[in-house]
Structure 1
Amino acid sequence: MKMKKYTASTMPEAMKLIRKELGEEAVILNSKVVYSKGFLGLFKKKSIEVLAGMDSIESPAPILEKPILPQVQEDSSSEEIKKELEDLKQMVKSIGRTQSNRTNPDEMEALIQHLKEQELAEELITSIGDELFVHLKKNEEDTAMEAQLKIAKDQLRSELEVFPFGGISYEKKYINVLGPTGVGKTTTIAKMAARAVLEKKKKVGFITTDTYRIAAIEQLKTYAGLLQAPIEIVYNEQDLKQAMHKFEALDVVFIDTAGRNYKEVKFVEDLQKLIDLKENTETFLVLSSTSKQRDMEVIIEQFKDFPIQKFIFTKVDETNSIGSIVNLMVKYKKGLAYYTDGQEVPEDIVEASLDELLNLFLKGIRYERSS
């Protein structure tokens, strides 16, 4: 038997290589997920390592040589070997197809459908589907949804665990909160500030550059009054410096930037000229989970020159799909600070954690437990 080890980013890619070199009659002898560390030992990269083989024919001899079985199978019975090889042949033929045209076992359809309904990126669905497919083919009696959910969580965890989770670090004085109009940015700032006052006993203040919307200023003034916190309205860079000087004695200062249509470059450039607090600032970008992913991507691209550490997603309670949260974190390599799920201040805000996000993402999946 001719054997060769293949390494690829996904199982379908490995299957293409195997079929190209060994043909359709090749068999998988072993497969496993491996991780390699990237730059400075960070950002683990996942890949699939597959050992494949095929029966070789000695030409021009008319008699076929018996295939040499891997060492790990020497103690198995011949019938078990034949059955395993036949099963693996079938896996090779079917697993190479993409998630969209592969015939999946019925047992995994409920979970795959849930991932699609959550609008998870196709490549992430394919990655999870590959692992589910291999698991169900090797463990035909273990079709419980709990086992499938664990596989899905493990796959997503491997993608997300390299990014930071959690809210304000309190290592920096200024909390710079960016975001387009209509995402609930001012209310989110109020929730963050209330938590800082009530839970961390911090002295807070507010600076707003949103001089375009009177309602936004009045709203922030109301929250500042409830928290007994000072507030300054700034129109230019000089005003900002004066406000910062006034707030020297405070622990945390929240900067509410103007809510504008940041798809337009000029508004981003105006903001960049006004806010330049790279040394002592944590910067968050607020996005609405009800927005189209493509629209959010345009906003993120516009803010590429800002030192954004983490995203904040609002209005999670107003949508039935939150796959875009995962998609954008993976695509832009950003962490997650908070997500909000209502208008109440300060209750309706959740400090993000990886486990909490995975549970939220896989919550409510519709399936019937196997009897």
Structure 2
Amino acid sequence: MKYVAPTMNEAMKKVRNELGENAVILNSKVMDSGGVFGLFKKRMVEVIAAIDPGIENEKAEMKRLRSQPDASKSVSFKQDEHRKQQLKSENSVQQELKELKKMIASFTSSSQFERYDSSIREILLHLQIQGINESLLLQAGDHLQGYFKSSGQKGTEILLIEAKRFLKDAVSEVNMSGMSYKKKYINVIGPTGVGKTTTLAKMAAEAVIEKRMKIGFITTDTYRIAAIEQLKTYAGLLNVPVEVVYKLEDYKKAIHKFRDFDHVFIDTAGRNFREKKFVDDLHKVIDFERDMETFLVLSLTGKEDDMKEIITQFSAIEINAFIFTKLDETSTYGSMVNILKETKTGIAYITTGQDVPEDITEVDADYISELLLKGFSHERSGV
């Protein structure tokens, strides 16, 4: 089937949405469409994709296995299950290799990448799969091609080292550090389901356990009883007080109660912040002007466009840095880099699980560049 989109990323999304993860790319090309009298043409990407027939063979084999007689059932069942897993594993590996090779071929046929050496195209493909936007991909390609020509270094591993250096430089312009501890009030905001409360507890644990500070909790998340109880559980473990606030007057009373504390950590409700109303509601409960450091929490499992929309909605609030959660639940990290470069906003932490206080870490440019190219050698070898 044929799919046309403005970029390769969007074309691949269409393929996955309609044909699923078992689709393979048969051909792709860049073409011009529209325009008047040869002017104002728009560049588009055309992708031809199909379902791998090998998957259908696997389904047929599974059906045959299920139809076998029940004689020697216990032994046969184990053998069948083993065979099913073996078939699934073999077909999965073959499918991944096939799709990867087809995508590499699609890069070769694309006019915007054909000027690069094949080793560079491999690296660009990996970064494209990571979700790096096209502008940065082309910058990376031009940089690596220039390095390739000037240095005479042709090995992929050498180019990989230079690619890491390029990515490190690309994100080094944004600030990367945790809490500054210069503000008394530490506030985390963000949409529902990103792990704000757990993240706040991890940050608070650092202040209590490592810094030996006197802290308190405020929660404005009165929409979910479970959220209040969760924060109270963390507060109990850290032996710190919690104040639940419903309106700005309650908030003022709470901060007065904590006037002699070193820091106050504020948990906010997770709402659909694509609706401006919920952002406005925050201002009705929290005084953002008072000695505050605010972190916007975003999940790496979310869609980049949704994250950007949330950032736009929060533009009326000064965001000091992002916190990206759920690193352990995804294998693609390009959206984080795209957002950091586009917004020029810093990054405070990345979280890697639910354990408090362990699964949180500060990052630097080296960490992010390593993360983006993680597993590249395994993809090339098919491991």
- Could you say whether these structures have the same fold, taking a TM-score greater than 0.5 normalized by the shorter chain as the test? yes
Q: Pick from 288, 306, 323: which aligns with 2:299?
A: 288
Partner of 2:128: 116
Letter in 1 for 2:166: Q
Q: Is the 8 A contact 1:311 1:335 kept in 2?
A: yes
Q: Is the 8 A contact 1:206 1:254 kept in 2?
A: yes
Q: Determine the C-alpha separation between the residues in 2 that align with 1:266 and 1:301.
A: 13
Aligned length: 272
Q: Pick from 322, 338, 343: which aligns with 1:332?
A: 343
Q: Pick from 151, 155, 172: which aligns with 2:183?
A: 172
Q: Is the 8 A contact 2:186 2:266 kept in 1?
A: yes
Partner of 1:107: 119
Q: Determine the C-alpha separation between the residues in 2 that align with 1:330 and 1:164.
A: 11
Q: Is the 8 A contact 1:114 1:365 kept in 2?
A: yes
Are 2:367 and 1:356 aligned? yes
Q: Determine the C-alpha separation between the residues in 1 that align with 2:191 and 2:312.
A: 13
Deviations 1:313-365 (A, max 9, x none): 00011111001111001111100000111111111111122222222222221
Partner of 1:311: 322
State percent identity of aligned pairs.
Answer: 52
Letter in 2 for 1:132: L
Q: How does 1:2-21 map to 2 (within 5 A)?
A: none
Q: Is the 8 A contact 1:99 1:129 kept in 2?
A: no
The 3 A distance-change label for structure 1 pair 232 and 339 is same
Aligned-partner SS, 2:218: strand
Partner of 2:148: 136
Q: Is the 8 A contact 2:202 2:360 kept in 1?
A: yes
- More displaced 10-residue stretch of structure 1: 291-300 or 345-354: 345-354
The 3 A distance-change label for structure 1 pair 194 and 344 is same
Are 2:245 and 1:234 aligned? yes
Are 2:195 and 1:184 aligned? yes
Partner of 1:263: 274
Deviation at 1:279, TM superposition (A): 4.1
Unaligned runs of 5+ in 2: 1-108
Q: Is the 8 A contact 1:110 1:366 kept in 2?
A: no
Partner of 1:221: 232
Aligned-partner SS, 2:323: strand
Are 2:153 and 1:153 aligned? no
Q: Determine the C-alpha separation between the residues in 2 that align with 1:307 and 1:133.
A: 40
Q: Which has the higher helix share?
A: 2
Letter in 2 for 1:281: M
Deviations 1:143-171 (A, max 9, x none): 23443233223322333222111111111
Q: Pick from 260, 271, 277: which aligns with 1:249?
A: 260
Unaligned runs of 5+ in 1: 1-96
Are 2:138 and 1:126 aligned? yes
Letter in 2 for 1:134: G
The TM-score with structure 2 as length reference comes to 0.68
